[in-house]
Amino acid sequence: MRELPILFSGAMVRAVLDGRKTQTRRVVKPQPELRGGDDCVVLYGGRSFSGPRDYLIGEILPRFGCPYGQPGDRLWVRETWQGPMWDGDWEDRPEDPHSPKYCEYAADGGPPPEFMDAEDNLRQGWRPSIHMPRWASRILLEVTGVRVERLQDISEADCRAEGCAGGHGSIPDYPYSATPREQYRWLWNSLNGPDAWEANPWVWVVEFREDAKC
The one-letter code for the residue type at 99 is: S
pLDDT at 124: 64
What distance in Å separates the CA atoms of residue 161 and residue 207, rounded to the nearest whole number? 9
Q: Is the pLDDT of residue 116 over 60?
A: no
Q: Is the pLDDT of residue 186 over 50?
A: yes
Question: Mean pLDDT across the stretch 11-31?
Answer: 95
Q: Is the pLDDT of residue 172 over 90?
A: no
Do 69 and 86 fall within a single domain?
A: no
In this prediction the pTM is: 0.86
pLDDT at 168: 85
Phi/psi for 70 (5° steps) reads: -125, 165
Task: For residue 123, give its domain range.
Answer: 81-130
Number of H helices, E strands in the chain: 6, 12
> How many independent structural domains does the chain possess?
2
DSSP for 77-105, please give it.
Answer: EE-SEE----SS-GGG--S---SGGG-EE
Do 43 and 125 fall within a single domain?
A: no
Lowest pLDDT segment from 132-141, 167-176, 180-189: 167-176
Nearest alpha carbon to residue 103 among 82, 117, 88, 123 = 82
Do 158 and 197 fall within a single domain?
A: yes
Do 55 and 150 fall within a single domain?
A: yes
Do 206 and 152 fall within a single domain?
A: yes
Do 101 and 207 fall within a single domain?
A: no
Q: Is the pLDDT of residue 142 over 50?
A: yes
pLDDT at 120: 47
Q: Is the pLDDT of residue 119 over 60?
A: no
pLDDT at 83: 86
Do 145 and 66 fall within a single domain?
A: yes
Quickly list H helices, the chain: 10-17, 53-55, 61-65, 156-161, 180-192, 196-199
